[in-house]
Amino acid sequence: MPPRSEGPEELPITADDDVVRVRQLVRTYAQQTKLSLVDQTKLVTAASELARNTLIYGGGGFARVEEVSDGRRAGVRASFHDEGPGIPDLTLALADGWSSGSGLGLGLSGAKRLVDQFDLDTEVGRGTVVTVTKWKR
Amino acid sequence: MERVPILKIGGLLLVSIQIDLQDQSVLALQEDLAEKISATGAHGVIIDISAVEIVDSFIGRMFATIAGISRLFDADTVVVGMRPAVAITLVELGLTLGGVRTALDLERGMKILGQLGRGRDS
Amino acid sequence: MTVDAGRAQNLTDLMRDSAEPLIDEWVGVVAALLRGRSTKTELEADFREFFAALLPVVGSDGKDIGGPEFTDLRAFLEEYSRSRVRAGFTPTETASSVFSLKRVVFDLTESSDDPQMFRQLMAFSGLLDALGLLTFESFARVREEIIREQSEQLLELTTPVVKVWEGVLAVPLVGTLDSARTQVVMEKLLEALVETGSEHAIIDITGVFAVDTQVAQHLLKTVVAARLMGAECIVSGIRPQIAQTIVALGIEFGDIVTKASLADALRHALRREGVDVVRSEIA
Which subunits sit against A, judged by 3+ Cβ pairs under 8 A?
Answer: B, C
At residue C163, the pLDDT reads 93
Average pLDDT for C207-234: 88
- Among residues A81, B17, B89, B12, the alpha carbon closest in space to that of C229 is found at B89
Which residues are CB-contacts of B118 (< 8 A; sequence separation ≥ 6)? none
Buried b vs exposed e over C33-54: b needs ≥16 C-beta within 10 Å?
Answer: ebeeebeeeebbebbeebbebb
Instruction: Answer yes or no: do B93 and A52 touch at CB < 8 A.
Output: no
Instruction: Show residues of chain B in contact with C224, CB under 8 Å.
Output: 91
pLDDT over 80 at A96, yes or no: no
Question: How many domains in chain A?
Answer: 1
Write the single-letter amino acid at B91.
Answer: V
Q: DSSP 3-state assignment of C22?
A: helix
Tens digits of residue pLDDT in C82-106? 888 888 888 888 888 889 998 888 8
Assigned fold of C11-151: Globin-like (1.10.490)
From the CB of residue A56, how many other CB atoms can be counted at a distance below 10 Å? 19
Cβ(A114)–Cβ(A46) below 8 Å: yes
Query: What is the percentage of chain C residues whose pLDDT exceeds 70?
Result: 95
Cβ(B33)–Cβ(B6) below 8 Å: yes
Tens digits of residue pLDDT in C44-75? 888 998 888 888 888 888 788 888 888 888 88
How far is Cα A110 from Cα A132, in angstroms, rounded to an integer?
Answer: 12
Its sign, for the CA torsion B20, B21, B24, B30, is positive
Q: Is residue A122 part of a domain?
A: yes
Pick the CATH number of B6-121 from 1.10.3720.10, 3.30.750.24, 3.40.50.1100, 3.40.50.1980: 3.30.750.24
Pick C63 or B108 by higher pLDDT.
B108
CA C45 to chain centre: 27
Q: What is the CATH number of domain C162-273?
A: 3.30.750.24
Write the single-letter amino acid at C19.
Answer: A
What ipTM is given for this predicted complex?
0.92
Query: What does the DSSP assignment read for C139-186?
Result: HHHHHHHHHHHHHHHHHHHH---EEEETTEEEEEEEE---HHHHHHHH
Q: Is residue A113 part of a domain?
A: yes
Q: Is residue A52 part of a domain?
A: yes
Pick A10 or C55 by higher pLDDT.
A10
- Domain positions in chain B are 6-121
Give how far C95 is from chain A: nearest CA, Å: 20
Pick left, alpha or beta for residue B6 (phi over 0 → left; psi -120 to 50 → alpha; otherwise beta).
Answer: beta
Residue C141: which of A36, A38, A72 has the nearest Cβ? A72
CB contact B2 to C (< 8 Å) = no
- Domain positions in chain C are 11-151, 162-273
Instruction: Answer yes or no: do C141 and A38 touch at CB < 8 A.
Output: no
Pick the most confident of A83-92, C198-207, C234-243. C198-207
